[in-house]
Amino acid sequence: MSSAGRCLWLLQEIGVPYQQVEANLRDPEGRAQYVGGVFSGGKVPYLVDGDVRLFESMAINSYLASKYKPELLPTDLHERALVEQWSYWSITNLQPKALDVLMHTHFLPEAARDPKVAESGRTACAGYLAQLEIALESEWLVGNRFTLAEVNCGSVVNIALRAGAEAGPRVLAWMERLRARPAYQKALG
């Protein structure tokens, strides 16, 4: 359910061979092996594609789709902007609130958890997922076809739902379609 998951999912969707390297950046030895030598900054996910070096999952996915499967990015300017809108909407709005819920219900030590933060996160997630519910007028977010928006936004909605967020029938059906995709199953299933 990390940001790397959306990159792995997209790699499966585009069907190019890749090598996944897991780096424990919390371990000083593991960090020393990768930071500086392979990539600077210690950010994961991190893509190495020939001379291209990228971090930030949304930038990685945009690059991968552009290079290897451009049909995931509409050529129509408005539709292309909608792909970006839903991608950025998900990581700047929904993801932080879903992570608040997870942190304050599962990941933080019991003494550090704040039920008010978790509840506030749940409420915010419900509001954002209601917005998505209205937007899902067809089976897909943009142009009535599977696009990069499904991978980017769907990966975040998946986190929110796993955190216990409430969603309407359109969002739930959309997520079922996404989770049924063979690429999703291979990367995240």
Angstrom distance (rounded) from CA 186 to CA 9: 8
**CA of residue 12 relative to chain centroid, distance:** 14
Question: What kind of architecture, by CATH, is found in domain 74-188?
Answer: Up-down Bundle (1.20)
Domains 3-71 and 74-188 share a fold: no
Mean model confidence pLDDT for the chain = 92
Please check whether the domain covering 3-71 is classified as CATH 3.40.50.880.
no
Confidence of residue 34 (pLDDT cuts 50, 70, 90): low
Q: pLDDT, tens digit, for every residue of 115-168? A: 999 999 999 999 999 999 999 999 999 999 999 999 999 999 999 999 999 999
For CA atoms 5, 7, 11, 14, the dihedral sign is positive
Q: What is the pLDDT of residue 30?
A: 66
pTM (two decimals): 0.91
What does the domain layout of the chain look like in residue ranges? 3-71, 74-188
